[in-house]
C-alpha cells in the first residue's frame, strides 16, 4: 500500500516524495481469527466437554461456556447483553408468543417447547423476534426477521450478525440460510401470492454443536405461515385507487365529506394504505409565520419575481425566499380535510437540489441532474 501526494505544477505532476510513501510492501496480515475453519468441521460439543472434564449431562459451567466461546471464535458474535425471555418484547407471552399484530395469522405454529423459546410479533405484523435459551451451554440466542413493506427491504440477524436485502432482488420462495460459523443458523423462505395481502413465511432457528449428531435446538417458528400485510401495501394500484369506492367496499358509504366522522374515516384509510406514517405530526397551516403577508396566497420575498405566479386555491399558500431559489407551500386538500407541506430549494453553493414532501426528503446532485427532466 502506497500513498502519493502530488500537485500540478506547470502542467506537470510534482510528487512529494517523488516515489510516494510506502506504507506496506508484501506485508502478511493475519485473518481476524487465526484458527482455520477446517478445525471445526468435525467439532463435537460432547467430546469437547469430556476432554475438559465437564459433565455432559449437566449445564456447562460459566468458565466452560467462556472457554467454548473463545475456542470456537464466537466471542465477537455473541451479544454482550443477552436477550431475556422474561422481558419485553418477549413477555408477556401466551404459549410462547407475544403477538401484537391486530390481524389474524394463518398457520401460526404452536411453540411446544415454550420453556426454551419465546417470540414476539410487532403491531405492524411483518416481523418476528425470538429468544432461545440453550440451557446445555448457558446461552440465550436472539434471532429475528423483519419485512419492511415501506422500503421493500428484508432485514434479519442472529445475535450480532445482521443482514438485509431488497425484495426486488429476492427469488420468491427460495430457501436461504444465514449462519454464524455454521453453529447458529437462521433459515427462511418468503412467498408472495399474487393479489393477496399476505406473505407466506417459513422460518427455522437452529443451534448446532455436533457435526455428526443432532442440533442442540431446532425449531420452525413459522412453517408456511401466512403473515398479513398492513401499511405500505405495495399491491394497491394507486393509479386506480378511489377513496369513495374503498369506503363503499368496506361498508362506510354513508360517510361523506360533510359527515361528522369524515376526518376519522380519512385517518383510517390513510393508516390502512400506509400513508399516515409519512405525514407530519404537526401539519402546516396557512397561518404559519412563514406565510405572513401573503398576497393572492403568495408570500414573495424575491425581488426578481414580480409576475406570472400561478393562482392558488384559498386553502393553499406558498412562500418564495429572498434568495429566489427556495419555495415552500402548505397545500390544502379540501376533500380529505388535510394539509400537505412541500418544499424545494436549489442550492448553487453546494450544487444540490433539496426538497421535501411531508416527512419525506430528498437531495439531488445538480452535476448529475438531467436538466428539464420531470422527477
Q: Mean pLDDT of all residues in the chain?
A: 81
- What's residue 365's pLDDT? 84
Q: How many CA atoms lie within 13 A of 21 on its CB side?
A: 6
Averaging pLDDT over each range in 111-125, 266-280, 287-301, which range is the top one? 287-301
Q: Beta-carbon neighbour count of residue 54 at 10 Å?
A: 20
Say whether pLDDT at 34 is over 50.
no
Q: What's the CA gap between 141 and 184, in Å, rounded?
A: 9
- What's residue 234's pLDDT? 44
C-alpha cell at 74: 464466537
Q: Which position has the grid cell 423483519?
A: 146
**69 strand-pairing partners:** none
- What's residue 38's pLDDT? 40
Average pLDDT over residues 328-354: 88
Task: Say how many Å lie between the first and final Cα of the chain, rounded.
Answer: 43
Which helix (H) or strand (E) segment holds residue 345: the answer is strand 338-347
**Tell me: the pLDDT tens digits for 159-174?**
999 999 877 678 889 9
**161 strand-pairing partners:** 158
- CA angle at residue 314 from 309 to 316, to 5 degrees? 70
**355 strand-pairing partners:** 344, 362
**Tell me: the pLDDT tens digits for 175-225?**
999 999 889 999 999 998 876 778 899 999 999 998 888 898 999 999 999
Query: Are 204 and 213 in contact, with CB atoms under 8 Å apart?
Result: no
**Tell me: the pLDDT tens digits for 50-69?**
888 888 888 888 888 888 89
Query: Are 191 and 173 in contact, with CB atoms under 8 Å apart?
Result: yes
Q: What's the CA gap between 229 and 172, in Å, rounded?
A: 16
Give me the residue spans of the domains in the chain: 75-228, 279-365
3-state DSSP assignment of residue 70: helix
Say whether pLDDT at 41 is over 80.
no
Give the predicted TM-score (pTM) of the model: 0.53
How far is CA 262 from its chain centroid? 33
Question: In sequence order, what are the residues at sequence separation of 6 or more whose Cβ sits closer than 8 angstroms to the Cβ of residue 22?
Answer: 1, 2
Say whether pLDDT at 32 is over 50.
no
Q: Which of 265, 287, 282 is nearest to 337 (CA)?
A: 265
> Percent of the chain, pLDDT > 70?
79
Amino acid at each position: 500500500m502506497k500513498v502519493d501526494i502530488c500537485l500540478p505544477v506547470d502542467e506537470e505532476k510534482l510528487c512529494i516524495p517523488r516515489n510516494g510513501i510506502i506504507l506496506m510492501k508484501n506485508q502478511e496480515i493475519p485473518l481476524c481469527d487465526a484458527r482455520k475453519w477446517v478445525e471445526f468441521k468435525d467439532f463435537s460439543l460432547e467430546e469437547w466437554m469430556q476432554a475438559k472434564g465437564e459433565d455432559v449431562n449437566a449445564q456447562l459451567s460459566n468458565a466452560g461456556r467462556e472457554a467454548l466461546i473463545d475456542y470456537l471464535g464466537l466471542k465477537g458474535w455473541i451479544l454482550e447483553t443477552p436477550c431475556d425471555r422474561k422481558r419485553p418484547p418477549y413477555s408477556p407471552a401466551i404459549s410462547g408468543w407475544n403477538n401484537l399484530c391486530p390481524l389474524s395469522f394463518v398457520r401460526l405454529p404452536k411453540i411446544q417447547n415454550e420453556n426454551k423459546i419465546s417470540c414476539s410479533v410487532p403491531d405492524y405484523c411483518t416481523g418476528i423476534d425470538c429468544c432461545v435459551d440453550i440451557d446445555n451451554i448457558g446461552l440465550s440466542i436472539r434471532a429475528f426477521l423483519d419485512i419492511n413493506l415501506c422500503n421493500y427491504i428484508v432485514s434479519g440477524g442472529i445475535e450480532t450478525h445482521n443482514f438485509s436485502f431488497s425484495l426486488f432482488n429476492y427469488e420468491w420462495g427460495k430457501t436461504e440460510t444465514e449462519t454464524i460459523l455454521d453453529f447458529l443458523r437462521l433459515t427462511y423462505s418468503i412467498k408472495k401470492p399474487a393479489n393477496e395481502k399476505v406473505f407466506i413465511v417459513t422460518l427455522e432457528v437452529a443451534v448446532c454443536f455436533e457435526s455428526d449428531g443432532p442440533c442442540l435446538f431446532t425449531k420452525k417458528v413459522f412453517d408456511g405461515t401466512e403473515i398479513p400485510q398492513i401499511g405500505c401495501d405495495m399491491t394497491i394500484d394507486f393509479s386506480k385507487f378511489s377513496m369513495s369506492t374503498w369506503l363503499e367496499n368496506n361498508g362506510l358509504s354513508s360517510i361523506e365529506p360533510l359527515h361528522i366522522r369524515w376526518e376519522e374515516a380519512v385517518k383510517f384509510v390513510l393508516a390502512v394504505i400506509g400513508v399516515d406514517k409519512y405525514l407530519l405530526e404537526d401539519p402546516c397551516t396557512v397561518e404559519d409565520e412563514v406565510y405572513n403577508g401573503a398576497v393572492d396566497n403568495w408570500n414573495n420575498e424575491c425581488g426578481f419575481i414580480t409576475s406570472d405566479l400561478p393562482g392558488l386555491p384559498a386553502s393553499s399558500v406558498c412562500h418564495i425566499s429572498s434568495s429566489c431559489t427556495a419555495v415552500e407551500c402548505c397545500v390544502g386538500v379540501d376533500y380529505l380535510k388535510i394539509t400537505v407541506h412541500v418544499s424545494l430549494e436549489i442550492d448553487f453553493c453546494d450544487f444540490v437540489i433539496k426538497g421535501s414532501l411531508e416527512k419525506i426528503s430528498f437531495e439531488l446532485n445538480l452535476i448529475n441532474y438531467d436538466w428539464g427532466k420531470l422527477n
